[in-house]
């Protein structure tokens, strides 16, 4: 039912976890896919190869999404290679432990740079392209933590709370240009980012008790709602914070 043939999607942090699952799902729906990444070249290449196996165009761009000149260059290169950018998925993010009274300022700053500033920068450079094209769709990844807070992760929660407010602000600012801006808010997700915590059996059981649906989702469980928000099925949805966390935001 969702057909994104002729559409181009740019996904930040697309080499692993939610980003990789989203990239592959968008290709299955017919889109050409550009991903950004900072880590493993091999993992990024794996995702691009999967996209190409599905008969779609795929490319990976390496760079720090918190650096203005890097993001500007990536967006320019994607636009030049693909000819357009219809959908932007701001997925790149980091999550680290930190007690507020011992947290180094550099840890706080790095989290804000990657999670919040990076989202701003990609929007800053992609939105003019979408305006010229007559519209587009932006999906920003936030979190349950950004809505209710999270002990020992105040820097992460604050950054994701910022993403939520940024999303709502842009939705009202850009509606006149036919650009929809929404957010998907996962809770715990079984990815390599959370592996250290979730691989501890007792802690995993503790987490499961906070999820009414009784399971920890995979990246693919988050990718589906992202695809929905990017599609015409969601053509009258903007400014929405879509909780995809098994109900944990209500009870965790």
**Three-state SS for 10?**
strand
Whether 156 is a known active-site residue: answer yes
Secondary structure of residue 31 in the 3-state scheme: coil
- Cα separation, 165 vs 223, whole angstroms: 22
Q: What is the DSSP secondary-structure string of 170-196?
A: HHHHHGGGTEEEEEEEE-S--STTTHH
Instruction: Exactly one of 37, 61, 125, 156 is catalytic; name it.
Output: 156
DSSP 232: G
Q: Which residues contact 242 (CB under 8 A, 6 or more apart)?
A: 182, 183, 184, 185, 225, 229
Which of 159, 148, 160 minimizes the C-alpha distance to 248? 148
Please list the residues that pair with 140 across neighbouring strands. Answer: 90, 183
Which residues participate in catalysis according to the annotation?
A: 156
């Amino acid at each position: 039912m969702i057909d994104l043939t002729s559409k181009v999607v740019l996904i930040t942090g697309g080499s692993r976890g939610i980003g990789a699952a989203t990239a592959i799902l968008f290709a299955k729906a017919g889109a050409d896919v550009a991903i950004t990444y900072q880590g493993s070249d091999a993992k990024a290449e794996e995702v691009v190869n999967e996209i190409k196996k599905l008969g779609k165009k795929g490319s990976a761009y390496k760079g720090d999404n918190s650096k203005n000149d890097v993001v500007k260059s990536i967006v320019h290169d994607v636009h030049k290679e693909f000819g357009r950018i219809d959908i932007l998925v701001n997925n790149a993010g980091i999550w680290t432990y930190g007690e507020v009274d011992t947290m180094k300022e550099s840890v706080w700053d790095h989290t804000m740079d990657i999670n919040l500033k990076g989202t701003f920068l990609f929007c800053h450079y992609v939105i003019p392209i979408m305006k010229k094209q007559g519209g587009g769709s932006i999906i920003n990844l936030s979190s349950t933590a950004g809505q209710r807070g999270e002990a020992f992760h105040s820097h992460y929660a604050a950054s994701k709370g910022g993403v939520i407010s940024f999303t709502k602000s842009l939705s009202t600012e850009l509606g006149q240009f036919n650009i929809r801006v929404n957010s998907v808010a996962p809770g715990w997700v079984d990815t390599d980012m959370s592996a250290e915590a979730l691989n501890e059996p007792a802690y995993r059981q503790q987490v499961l008790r906070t999820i009414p649906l009784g399971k920890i989702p995979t990246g693919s469980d988050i990718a589906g709602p992202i695809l929905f928000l990017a599609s015409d099925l969601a053509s009258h949805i903007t400014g929405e914070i879509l909780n995809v966390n098994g109900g944990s935001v209500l009870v965790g």
